[in-house]
């Protein structure tokens, strides 16, 4: 039976099953820009379609066996604000027995990021609330789809629909597909989101300052308190043991905050190992530092 996911609580998508999947379909450029790029852990490398036609910019992921999946994410993609994408799941290789989204409903690549009351009447995106071209590069692009329940399937089809893309091709840096950790409690107040600027500064004797620009990455510090011991060991202990500090996951602090979903959510790794603190009988607390992978 499918497990329903609580939309009010933090979500962690891990592990990424794409690394064990065979990826085919569509029409993608050869060599470094082929679908093989999606097996590269670094999102900076991209797979590039031969055109922006929906028939070219699609793919089928064949997992090693039927797996439980709770979410799908596209990272570092080049779809425009008019872009749509469709995710479907199938039990058979012929893609006839659909177990998720049989009607082929599309999802916007860029949902509304601005509320009407936050923009002046004359602003060019007052009506749509979507980002402008200059807004898109501020953080790594991410199209996020939480399925709302766990879906068990082996074949997953992803279609990207952006035929008016001015570059006439679509890039995808990473696809994350996997189970979603849904905890019984949410993180405690005091969590902190920051953009870490890794630029360096030097200063001359006259006081002039010089900067060497570095990368900017998001960091989210959060924790849980008074969690049931059984749930911690069943979910958090196994998760942190698998992730360590090297493995990636996708972090969604607040799935209901659709306006800030792309600002707050990112591909991350744990900056340091997580300790589980025994605070009471059969109760544990834990703190996490997640930093963005770029």
* Alpha helical stretches, state H, the chain: 133-136, 229-231, 238-243, 261-264
Maximum C-alpha span of the chain: 72
Q: Which residue has the higher pLDDT, 28 or 257?
A: 28
Q: Which CATH number describes the domain made up of 11-182?
A: 2.60.120.260
pLDDT digits (tens, 9 = 90+) for 209-232: 999 999 899 999 999 999 999 988
pLDDT at 14 over 90: yes
Q: What percent of the chain has pLDDT over 70?
A: 89
Q: Please state, rounded to an integer, the average pLDDT across all residues of the chain.
A: 90
Nearest-angstrom CA–CA distance, 158 and 88 = 7
Q: Are 267 and 288 in contact (CB under 8 A)?
A: no
**Residue among 178, 170, 126 nearest 150 (CA):** 178
pLDDT digits (tens, 9 = 90+) for 196-211: 999 999 999 999 999 9
pLDDT given at position 160: 97
Indicate the pLDDT class of residue 177, thresholds 50, 70 and 90: very high
pLDDT given at position 202: 95
Indicate the pLDDT class of residue 21, thresholds 50, 70 and 90: very high
Q: What is the mean pLDDT of residues 80-89?
A: 94
Nearest-angstrom CA–CA distance, 246 and 292 = 12
Q: What is the mean pLDDT of residues 267-284?
A: 91
pLDDT given at position 1: 46
pLDDT given at position 17: 97
Q: What is the mean pLDDT of residues 255-266?
A: 86
pLDDT given at position 118: 67
pLDDT given at position 274: 86
φ, ψ of residue 184 to 5 degrees: the values are -75, -15
- The H-or-E segment that residue 153 falls in is strand 142-161
pLDDT digits (tens, 9 = 90+) for 109-135: 987 666 666 666 665 565 566 666 666
CATH 2.60.120.260 positions along the chain are 11-182
pLDDT given at position 130: 66
pLDDT at 290 over 80: yes
């Amino acid at each position: 039976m499918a497990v329903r996911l609580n939309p009010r609580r933090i979500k962690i998508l891990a592990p990424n099953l794409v690394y064990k999947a065979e990826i085919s379909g569509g029409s993608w450029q050869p060599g470094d820009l082929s679908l093989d790029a999606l097996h590269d852990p670094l999102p900076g490398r991209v797979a590039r379609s031969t055109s922006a036609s929906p028939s070219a910019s699609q793919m089928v992921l064949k997992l090693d066996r039927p797996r439980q999946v709770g979410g799908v994410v596209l990272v570092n993609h080049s779809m425009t604000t008019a872009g749509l994408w469709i995710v479907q799941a199938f039990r058979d290789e012929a893609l006839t027995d659909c177990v998720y989204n049989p009607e082929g409903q599309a999802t916007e690549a860029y949902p509304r990021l601005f509320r009407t009351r936050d923009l002046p009447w004359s602003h060019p995106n007052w009506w749509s609330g979507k980002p402008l071209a200059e807004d898109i590069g501020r953080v790594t692009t991410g199209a996020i789809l939480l399925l709302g329940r766990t879906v068990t399937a082996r074949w997953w089809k992803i279609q990207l629909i952006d035929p008016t893309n001015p570059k006439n091709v679509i890039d995808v840096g990473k696809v994350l597909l996997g189970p979603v950790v849904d905890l019984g409690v949410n993180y405690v107040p005091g969590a902190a989101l920051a953009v870490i600027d890794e630029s360096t500064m030097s200063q001359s004797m006259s006081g002039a300052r010089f900067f060497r620009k570095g990368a900017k990455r998001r960091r989210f510090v959060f924790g849980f308190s008074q969690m049931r011991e059984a749930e911690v060991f069943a979910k958090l202990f196994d998760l942190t043991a698998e992730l360590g500090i090297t493995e990636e996951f996708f972090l969604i602090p607040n799935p209901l905050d659709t306006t800030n979903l792309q600002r707050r959510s990112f591909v991350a790794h744990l900056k340091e190992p997580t300790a589980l603190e025994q605070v009471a009988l059969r109760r544990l607390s834990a703190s996490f530092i997640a930093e963005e992978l770029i």
